[in-house]
Structure 1
Amino acid sequence: MTYKLLRKKRTTVQLLIGLSFIVVLLLIVFFLFKNETFETDYVKIDKNKIDPLTADYDTFHLDDSRKSKQIKYGYELFINTAEYLGPKNGKRERSFSGNNLACNNCHLNAGTKPYSGMLIGVINRFPQFRGRENKIGTIEERINGCMERSMNGKPLPPNGEEMKAFVAYMHWLNQFAPEDGKVKGAGYARIKIPNRAVDLQKGEKLFLNKCASCHGEDGQGIALQDYPGYLYPPLWGEDSYNIGAGMARVITAAEFIKTNMPYGATYEKPELTDEEAYDLAGYINQQDRPIKTNPEFDFPDLKKKPVSTPYPPYADTFPVSQHQLGPFQPIMEFYKEEYGMKKTK
């Protein structure tokens, strides 16, 4: 065999080897996608082995797919609500929020901090019955409840871009949660409610010692300089939540304060006692704030109204002042004896 034929045969063999390698590589990629080893947004992992409380929820890791962009927009709306939806956003048609607060002011760490109204797992618990409307509601309705109360604004269009982005972000936060949506750290941590009325003098002293450095002695917070919003939000006044917000209830506010305030406190390492959180919450919620439109339409079944709801009407004869400042145990006992209802808030 001549050298020329040997060289030709060697080239043919090399070509066949190269083609075989490419075919094998293509088959590997095909079966990987067929078995969904990869997803469009990120590498698929066994989500059942990820702790939802310690998972990485940084949107920076998302790609630029349409779905990921929607999640990122939802995150931006959540963190910088006033910039996109507030009264100073420069787009009147998108000024849905009536104040310059952010969702992140109440749902801390972008909705991922335990016992701060944490949103991990929440969307799996909807549709959900809520006594405030006395019906089963959707997640969209729940979001709009926050818009009208905590944000003192008006509802987002249910099928609008912003609502879809909020829901997409909440779905993404739900990726490691169990099917029933029950995750440790949901809602707020219970406190032992003191069997007495709020001590407003102690509450004021606590506020000045523990809260004023961030929220100001006048409770008006520290505003951002370059765009709408706050470094630390106001706790009362015209730019705060209205009386219809859950945080306007002493018991709810005390539960939030106990495990989250002063800034840096956690469920494991609180800085306040139950009694201190109670007095502090009562003092803050006795200050002037916006009145929600038509608050009398809340809780069609008045028996379902939380005992610390600060505005009437009620299904009892206790004075408004006692619903605002306690003691709450006599009110709870009344509902237990009269209606067989066990109330904890």
Structure 2
Amino acid sequence: MGICTALLIFLAFGVIMIGFGSEKKTYAAFPDEVYYMDYNVYNLSFSEKNELIKWGFEIFRNTSLHIGPKQKDSTQIFAGNNLACASCHLNGGTKPYGAPLIGVIKRFPQYRGREDKIGTIEERINGCMERSMNGRMMPEDNAEMKALVAYMDWLGRAAPEDGKIEGQGFMKVKIPNRSVNLEHGQLIFEKVCVECHGMDGQGQIVEGEGLYLYPPLWGNDSYNNGAGMTRVITAAEFIKSNMPYGTTYDQPLLTDEEAYDVAGYINQKFRPTKPNREVDFPDLVKKPVSTPYGPYVDSFTEEQHQLGPFQPIMDYYLENHKINKSK
């Protein structure tokens, strides 16, 4: 099981499986056969390797207990908030279009524009530590880092050699050719999101455990403003196929426009500031159009990069830099 989120990082930690397809198509079949594997770590037999995998899963779903604010050894605190890896990577990292981690190890080393270099999986995890977890880098030889990598490696045991699977990342949405409507976004939030995250957006805590059942969407204990989820397009893609809780890619509740507006509404709220964001994307031409902070290589305002319309920015990069940007 685990804790699942509902919206943006907006999730719930959990391991609820998506329904398999039937002739009536109540739910479509999984988009890739790898999703039919057994990903329950508790079915693993006892061995040193399997115990490391189980430990990685425990860190993955209860991050704050082991490498976050609830860790009593201050030298082992790397996550700065009480979110978990499971907050973005749903169902233990096995949900289609819920940022699944199946095969991710095989996709590294990997080039990333934010650093403008080839990076390792450990560097990618540390990117999450510094941004989504609003914390600091974890040494690559740290026992918890090795456990997380072991768990991810085990998830990808049936993935193809290149690690690419259908349903990786988030589901694409058609971005409206207009600015975010914040008033409409607030209406969607109050109609759909408050049941889990509350009117104040601060989520729900499991009584007696101090862990989030549904995490905060903004405020001091949420992801910082350097995280990928602060990009409206990225957040809208996540929301469309995963939120509210229980939504699946083949049975979305929100329209593209609703996901777009509520993503913009949430990301206009206060959250921690990521230090040194200005050094992100050394090659500014590669910066996603909905990155909410400068500098930019174009003349569009920071407000337009945050709230759109994004089509004019995309057109600019296509015309002037021959780059067809989608986020």
Settle same-fold status: TM greater than 0.5.
yes
- Give the partner amino acid of 1:265: T
Q: Which has the higher helix share?
A: 1
Give the one of 209, 232, 256 matched to 2:214: 232
Aligned partners of 2:211, 2:322: CA distance in 1, in Å?
45
Give every structure 1 segment of 4 or more consecutive aligned residues whose post-TM-superposition deviation is greater than 3 Å: none
Aligned partners of 2:209, 2:126: CA distance in 1, in Å?
24
Point out which structure has higher relative CO (alpha carbons under 8 A, 6+ apart). Answer: 2
Match of 1:33 in 2: none
Aligned partners of 2:285, 2:33: CA distance in 1, in Å?
38
The number of aligned residues is: 296
Preserved CA contact (<8 Å) 1:265 1:271 = yes
- Give the partner amino acid of 2:208: D
Summarize the alignment of residues 44-193 of structure 1 with structure 2, pairs less than 5 Å apart: 51-193=33-175
Preserved CA contact (<8 Å) 1:102 1:229 = no
Aligned partners of 1:260, 1:107: CA distance in 2, in Å?
11
Summarize the alignment of residues 209-248 of structure 1 with structure 2, pairs less than 5 Å apart: 209-248=191-230
Displacement of 1:240 in angstroms is 0.2
Match of 1:269, SS state, is coil
Displacement of 1:229 in angstroms is 2.3
Preserved CA contact (<8 Å) 1:51 1:176 = no
- Give the partner amino acid of 1:134: D
Aligned partners of 2:152, 2:265: CA distance in 1, in Å?
33
Summarize the alignment of residues 262-281 of structure 1 with structure 2, pairs less than 5 Å apart: 262-281=244-263
Q: Could you list the runs of 5+ residues in structure 2 that have no partner in the other structure? A: 1-31
Displacement of 1:228 in angstroms is 3.8
Preserved CA contact (<8 Å) 1:223 1:229 = yes
Match of 2:35, SS state, is coil
- Give the partner amino acid of 1:120: I
Give the one of 260, 267, 271 matched to 2:242: 260
- Give the partner amino acid of 2:286: K
- Give the partner amino acid of 2:204: I
- Give the partner amino acid of 2:122: E
Aligned partners of 1:296, 1:58: CA distance in 2, in Å?
41
Aligned partners of 2:299, 2:113: CA distance in 1, in Å?
20
Deviations 1:240-280 (A, max 9, x none): 00011111100000000000000011110000000000001
Match of 2:317 in 1: 335
Match of 1:265, SS state, is coil
Deviations 1:201-241 (A, max 9, x none): 00001001000010010000001233342000000000000
Displacement of 1:90 in angstroms is 1.7
- Give the partner amino acid of 1:288: F
Aligned partners of 1:244, 1:224: CA distance in 2, in Å?
28
- Give the partner amino acid of 1:282: G
Preserved CA contact (<8 Å) 1:299 1:305 = yes
Preserved CA contact (<8 Å) 1:89 1:228 = no
Give the one of 276, 289, 306 matched to 1:324: 306
Superposition TM-score, scaled by structure 2 size = 0.89
Match of 2:118, SS state, is strand
Aligned partners of 2:85, 2:211: CA distance in 1, in Å?
11
Displacement of 1:172 in angstroms is 0.2
Q: Which has the larger radius of gyration?
A: 1
Summarize the alignment of residues 294-313 of structure 1 with structure 2, pairs less than 5 Å apart: 294-313=276-295
Match of 2:232 in 1: 250
- Give the partner amino acid of 1:95: I
Preserved CA contact (<8 Å) 1:121 1:174 = yes
Displacement of 1:142 in angstroms is 0.3
Aligned partners of 2:118, 2:56: CA distance in 1, in Å?
24
Aligned partners of 1:228, 1:316: CA distance in 2, in Å?
45
- Give the partner amino acid of 1:87: P
Aligned partners of 2:320, 2:116: CA distance in 1, in Å?
20
